[in-house]
Structure 1
């Protein structure tokens, strides 16, 4: 399993943004109000993942990976990578949705009162989704094993 590529996440976000824009164009009048709290749950998850990333990184850096004695179990690190990958994809999809909503709302703010009221909430939600993507990529980065030191015992090629 390789690291999640930003390019792949970007493609997913753009695809969801296009789909989201189409859905919002057809269904906006049926939407509930978008408040600043609409995307805040993503910020909580992003903060938790970023904090866990710093913890895992410190444990790996200090060599506290292994079994027993207050060490971080290797399966915990592997599960953290899976959570990070899933969160990155979810964050990219949600970011795409909110970008699609914003593409609909921004040009209509001056003519549609509800669009002006919903815009700040959509901006907050998009920023929280972006924070989740960044935190997930950070956690994934922190779960990498340290580089092996170069082996000086090998003779140089002549």
Structure 2
């Protein structure tokens, strides 16, 4: 049994995403401070991350209903649920890193907002960090939605 527990996939905890966010924040600050002139950031990451978050949130809601076998839903295949868990874990790790990186960039330029370029970088980096946070929340919700509920049918009759 101990060998089986080592290979078992565990839920994403708070430590790895927090560590990735801190590492991303440090990288964002270091990169921003090492550049002599900041190029404007593309704003297209913001709607992209928001759309990904909405898609994962919607999928999480549907998946949770399907795993709980609510009326009007068809059961989910185990391989599909495993793929969704892999997507959720990858999205959570990426979103943590992106959240930290862009928050670090926004923090780094926050003291020089009188320059128009820095103001633009600040708003875009802050918007991207917030949308990455939304993706992180949706990814963690999708991972949670893929959990199998406890079997209540295993109890003997008459025991609640």
For 1:105 and 1:84, how far apart are their aligned partners in 2? 31
Q: TM-score, normalising length from structure 1?
A: 0.84
Distance 1:133 1:87, change over 3 A: same
User: Is the contact between residue 35 and residue 120 of structure 1 (CA under 8 Å) also seen in structure 2?
Assistant: no
Query: What's the offset of the Cα at 1:149?
Result: 1.6
Q: Match for 1:86 among 84, 87, 90?
A: 90
The answer to whether residue 106 in structure 2 is matched with residue 102 in structure 1 is yes
More moved, 47-56 vs 5-14: 5-14
- Name the counterpart of 1:74: 78
Distance 1:73 1:151, change over 3 A: closer
Q: TM-score, normalising length from structure 2?
A: 0.83
Query: What's the offset of the Cα at 1:151?
Result: 4.5
SS of corresponding position for 1:39: helix
- Name the counterpart of 1:23: 31
User: Is the contact between residue 106 and residue 121 of structure 2 (CA under 8 Å) also seen in structure 1?
Assistant: no
- Name the counterpart of 1:5: 13
- Name the counterpart of 2:142: 139
Distance 1:28 1:145, change over 3 A: farther
Distance 1:107 1:144, change over 3 A: same
The answer to whether residue 123 in structure 2 is matched with residue 120 in structure 1 is yes
Task: Report the RMSD for the aligned CA atoms in angstroms.
Answer: 2.1
For 2:34 and 2:12, how far apart are their aligned partners in 1? 33
User: Structure 2: which 5+ runs fail to align?
Assistant: 1-8
Distance 1:6 1:78, change over 3 A: same
Q: Match for 1:45 among 52, 58, 71?
A: 52
User: Structure 1: which 5+ runs fail to align?
Assistant: 154-158
Query: What's the offset of the Cα at 1:32?
Result: 3.0
User: Is the contact between residue 35 and residue 122 of structure 1 (CA under 8 Å) also seen in structure 2?
Assistant: no
What is the number of equivalent residue pairs in this alignment? 148
For 1:71 and 1:102, how far apart are their aligned partners in 2? 44
